[in-house]
Amino acid sequence: MASIPVRSESIRLDRNDPYLRILCVNIFVRDQDRSLEFYVNKLGFGVVVDESYEAGGRWVAVAPPDGNTVLALIAPQRNSEEYRLIGRSKHAVLVTEDVVSKFEDWQGRGVRFHHPPQTTLWGGIFTRFDDLDGNCFSLVGRDDFVREVEAQRRATAQKLEAERRTAQELEIAKQVQARLFPQSLPPLKTLEYAGICIQARQVGGDYYDFLDLGGSRLGLVIGDTSGKGIGAALLMANLQANLRSQSAIAWEEPDRFLHSVNQLFYQNTTESAFATLFFAQYEDETRRLRYANCGHYPPLLVRHGNALERLDSTCTVLGLFSEWVCSFAECQLCPGDLLVMYTDGITECFNDAEEEFGEERLTNLLNKNRDRSSHQLLALLIDEVRKFNPREQHDDITLIVAQCR
């Protein structure tokens, strides 16, 4: 038997009462195609299943617009016991909030009713009609059902409005967060660079930045805050504000700069919140790179002759400890060197075979395409990651590419 969809709103989340529903009611008919036309075109039912099987059988099922109960239209073989049941179904009941309206609509489409709608002693209204084979259905309605339908409509409208507001607020948050990323690139003579962040959700916790430290000196920043979604986005905004507000002392007093950033992040976030961060200072005149890696993935420095260096951690993550020790390292860049900073959305991307994109694949791409510009290389790497995993993106993808000229 083909699968029937389960309506999510009818499932209890606590599992205290096991899920139960009527799957289908069998209606015996002479011709499935004629009956299908009647139920779909005259009554407005939808086709749930229409499948033929190798053994020669065909299963056709229809459902009213709410889809809660399915009618299986069965055409039995002649001379079978089931064939004698065609037209014998007399007890199926359909309920509606407006019997009169349905009566007038369906009668205009050629449905045969036994009588006009009549009121009952139990405070309802009903009528009866036959399908093409004489199977009889009751069409009923009553005030308490109408009130229930109206309550469901109000609840659905409120839910849709809440979802609309949430989507609108998330879109605003996305636009606001987009403005937190660098809007311009301070010009340098000896370094060509570019960055990008592609979030898995509307907002995320990855962060990159280019800080103008004055005197042809640049701050390169990439980070990843803990968590997902709105929570991570708030941490990211907090980290960005701390970095930019303290950046005036970043060049002369880098240790004090990061200590201050960590202290502010520690004081203004919850106990479990943290961020990995790679912060580097680049001096345009000397091509010197001084950096602190706070628990972040080691950026890759591909030298002109394809030798690979990893800029490993120099201290622990931000935000977990009030007493925090920071140290810096430095290296000299030469013309032709390529520096790539990234978050786990690059290397920890998995394909359908559960293979990881990984650092080796990233390094090979850098070696093969190092002659491209930073912007071109950035676009190529993002494209390769998406080809590797064309499915839904599950983590933010953030990348900075810098080439020494």
Segment 355-379, tens digit of pLDDT: 999 999 999 999 999 889 999 999 9
Segment 154-210, tens digit of pLDDT: 888 899 999 999 888 888 888 888 888 888 899 999 999 999 999 887 888 899 999
DSSP 32-84: HHHHHHIIIIIT--EEEEEEE-TTS-EEEEEE-TT-SSEEEEE-PPTTSTGGG
- Find the range with the poorest average confidence among 58-62, 118-122, 246-250, 323-327: 118-122
Give the single-character DSSP code of 251: T
Q: Measured between alpha carbons, how far is residue 367 from residues 300, 308, 361, 363 in Å?
A: 11, 10, 10, 6
pLDDT of residue 14: 61
Residue linked to tokens 């290296």: 331
Residue linked to tokens 């004055």: 214
Measured from the Cβ of residue 50, the count of other Cβ atoms closer than 10 Å reads 15
Residue 4 confidence (pLDDT) above 80: no
Query: What is the Cα–Cα distance from 59 to 6, expressed in whole angstroms?
Result: 19
How is residue 65 written in tokens?
Answer: 């617009």
Query: What is the Cα–Cα distance from 76 to 252, expressed in whole angstroms?
Result: 89
Q: Which range among 139-143, 327-331, 370-374 has the greatest average pLDDT?
A: 327-331
The structural domains of the chain, ordered by start, are 1-86 (3.10.180.10), 90-158 (3.10.180.10), 170-404 (3.60.40.10)
Residue 15 confidence (pLDDT) above 80: no
| Average pLDDT value over all residues in the chain | 90
The mean pLDDT value for 23-39 works out to 93
Q: What percent of the chain has pLDDT over 70?
A: 95
The mean pLDDT value for 137-154 works out to 85
